[in-house]
Amino acid sequence: QVTLKESGPVLVKATETLTLTCTVSGFSLSDPRMSVSWIRQPPGKALQWLALISSKGEKSYNTSMKSRLTISKDTSKSQVVLTMINVDPVDTATYYCAQIEGEMSTTFEFWGQGTLVTVSS
Amino acid sequence: SYVLTQPPSVSVAPGQTARITCGGNNIESKSVHWYQQKPGQAPVLVVYDDSDRPSGIPERFSGSNSGNAATLTVSRVEAGDEADYYCQVWDGSRDQYVFGPGTEVTVL
């Protein structure tokens, strides 16, 4: 059974660095078929893709946010970490991690429950 | 950047058919995926690769993709289908995953 669970601070201050962790189970981050993404959703707004890391460690980022994001993984801990620097109140959102299975797939098949992060000014 | 469009809202009576469109330039050349999101919950995949259903998703959910629009069709709508629906594609030319703005489906 595939599960993903996000964790991190509930509240951060503007200009600080946000670090979120996605802990996965039911699959290995070294499985060549598996990739993990971070996706966020501001309150009442649409989903926005942020970043992806493949089993090979290849990384992709939302073009508009690339300068502020870093995605990494620790296969031994089954964790994928997203770091966002210089946060702003507009970064207030629920942050989800999601799995893509299949080397040619572009589908977010399984999602975590999400974690709400509030950025205060 | 590749842009997807969706109607903000769709209303449908129980037992009827809801059709939600997702517009994009030559979207038929891309694989379109659809997610259902109920209030306070994470999105759930309901259709992938234009028209395939994950296991556990009722046959009432179907998809199609042609020209500049993809469509998610929900047949015999039930009260439990009330949710926001998002389409999503991968823009391979820029290696970007793109979501539509979402459509709120209301069951009358």
Q: Could you report the per-residue pLDDT of B56-72, keeping only the tens digit for each?
A: 999 999 999 999 999 99
Q: Any idea what DSSP says for residue B52?
A: B
Q: Which residues of B touch A96 (CB under 8 A)?
A: 42-43
Which tens digit of pLDDT belongs to each residue from A65-121? 999 999 999 999 999 999 999 999 999 999 999 999 988 889 999 999 999 999 999
Nearest to B42 among A46, A48, A113 (CB): A113
Contacts of A37 in chain B (CB under 8 A): 97
| A95 contact B CB<8A | no
**pLDDT in the model for residue A102:** 85
pLDDT value of position A72? 97
Taking an 8 Å cut-off on Cβ atoms, the answer to whether B33 and A47 are in contact is no
Q: Any chain B CB within 8 A of the CB of A48?
A: yes
Pairwise CA distance, residues B88 & B84, whole Å:
13
What pLDDT shows up at residue B59? 97
Give chain B's length: 108
**Exposed e or buried b per residue across A76-91, where buried means at least 16 C-beta atoms within 10 angstroms of its C-beta:** eebbbbbebeebeeeb
For residue A62, what are its two tokens? Answer: 């939302």
How confident is the model over B72-99, as a mean pLDDT?
Answer: 97
Amino acid at A101: E
- Average pLDDT over chain B reads 97
